[in-house]
Amino acid sequence: MAKYEKWKNEKKRKEIFDYLTNGHNKSELIEYMQIDRSTFYQWLKTYEDFKELIDEAEEIRDNIICDKIEEKLEEKCFLFSGDFKAMTYILEHKRPNKWGRIKQEQYQKDDIPKFIDDIE
């Protein structure tokens, strides 16, 4: 894994971080780094600092994307433009706590007293 040493210094780590946070995905990063896909995923398993770098960059990238989608969704509410289904799909999956579908509690036959208590 001698190739990893090339990407371990702070300048290269910043390069990786910037590349991902600017909207690129892992496949594009692998091509950019000029390494094999298997090497990349082995590094994720082997080097905790590399995994943390990738995870942090992806989280920031996803937040940037979701922020932009939220802005577009707000614009859509006023301008009626854009692909509403695509935007809601991404928000439901990237920010499920805020945009995810609410799951209804399922009741069994024996839960009727509990159900009645819940509606009162």
Q: Report d(CA 57, CA 14) in Å as an integer.
A: 10
Is 116 within a domain?
Answer: no
For the chain, how many structural domains are there in total? Answer: 1
Q: For residues 32 and 24, is the Cβ–Cβ distance under 8 A? A: yes
Is 8 within a domain?
Answer: yes
Reported residue count of the chain is 120
- Token pair 């770098």: residue: 53
- Tens of pLDDT, residue by residue over 5-44, are 888 889 999 999 999 999 999 999 999 999 999 999 999 9
Is 29 within a domain?
Answer: yes
- Tens of pLDDT, residue by residue over 98-110, are 888 766 555 555 5
* 3 state DSSP class of 81: coil
Is 67 within a domain?
Answer: yes
Is 118 within a domain?
Answer: no
* Residue-number span of the structural domain to which 58 is assigned: 2-100
Is 119 within a domain?
Answer: no
Q: Report d(CA 78, CA 66) in Å as an integer.
A: 19
The pTM (predicted TM-score) of the whole model is 0.63
Is 108 within a domain?
Answer: no
CATH number of domain containing 9: 1.10.10
Is 30 within a domain?
Answer: yes
- Type and span of the H or E element at 66: helix 48-79
